[in-house]
Amino acid sequence: MDYSTCTGRKTLPRDRILTITLNRPPMNPIHYELHEELSRVWYLVQVDHESDVVILTGAGETFSAGGDIPMMQKRIDDPELFNRKNLEMKQMIFGLLDLEKPVIARINGDCIGRGATLALMCDIMIAVDTARFCDPHVKMGYVAGDGGAVIWPQLIGYAKAKEYLLTGDMLDAVEAERIGLINHAVPRDQLDAKVNTLAEKLARGSNKAIKWTKTSMNIPLRQLAHSMMDASLAYEALTNIGPDHQEAVTAFQEKRKPDFRGR
């Protein structure tokens, strides 16, 4: 599997481990092309008969900074583009949740917005202890419609999830591990060893037992995502054409704080 911005490689055949890398350093934003690639990559992985375990990571020292500001402006200027990208967003999330193979998120740095949603939808999350997590949709005048409202409450409960999603505040990996948002926070020099040990353990396990156990556990999460995403993306579409979102995008480009008017 070889994409311009989303790349894959296999380790030794006996390990049957596939690594997918968000490859647009230094920040690995989910820009126009990567958005489309991620909408179909999980379906390709499902039928890749040479792999049993998947590692998702980012190039460099950032996992993903999330949404791409230029693409946000394009979607403001052309709301129909937002509708097309919404379909890709659903495919991105549903494809990941439908994938039978276990997915380990190797979180090598900051994990923001849509990048955080992708990482948290994985099965096991292992982060470098200096990584930071947040879903800053509201800080961009946006509804958290792309899956954050689905997954954060399932991992840390509604009270904590509401605090972080309604404020867009950031937390570090150590705190994320403490509250159950991720599985492990480790020093950078231990990240690869931790991820690879677990990936190899899964790859050498009973493949059918592991993948169908995952599939069974994901049934309620898949049902929840299907029941929520149409509405949450519709609300996000409404904020996409609102003045507050344009103000946030303009403020970001001008390197100042947005002046929201509640519109």
pLDDT at 193 over 60: yes
Could you tell me the domains of the chain? 6-190 (3.90.226.10)
pLDDT at 154 over 70: yes
Q: Determine the Cα–Cα distance for residues 24 and 58; give it in Å rounded to an integer.
A: 8
Cβ atoms of 31 and 70 closer than 8 Å: yes
41-74 pLDDT, tens digit per residue, is 999 999 999 999 999 999 999 999 998 888 888 8
- Look at the alpha carbons of 54, 56, 156, 219 in this order and tell me if their dihedral is positive or negative: negative
Q: Which two tokens stand for residue 28?
A: 């690995």
pLDDT band at 14 (very low <50, low <70, confident <90, very high): low
Least-confidence region, from 33-42, 92-101, 182-191, 211-220: 33-42
Q: Kindly list the distances between the CA atom of residue 149 and the CA atoms of 16, 24, 127, 233, in Å, as whole numbers in the listed order.
A: 33, 26, 21, 10
Mean pLDDT on 113-127: 97
Going by C-alpha positions, the residue among 112, 116, 70, 78 that lies closest to residue 252 is: 70
Cβ atoms of 93 and 143 closer than 8 Å: no
Q: State residue 85's pLDDT score.
A: 81
Q: How many CB atoms lie within 10 A of CB 175?
A: 14
196-231 pLDDT, tens digit per residue, is 999 999 999 999 999 999 999 999 999 999 999 999
pLDDT band at 8 (very low <50, low <70, confident <90, very high): low
pLDDT at 245 over 90: yes
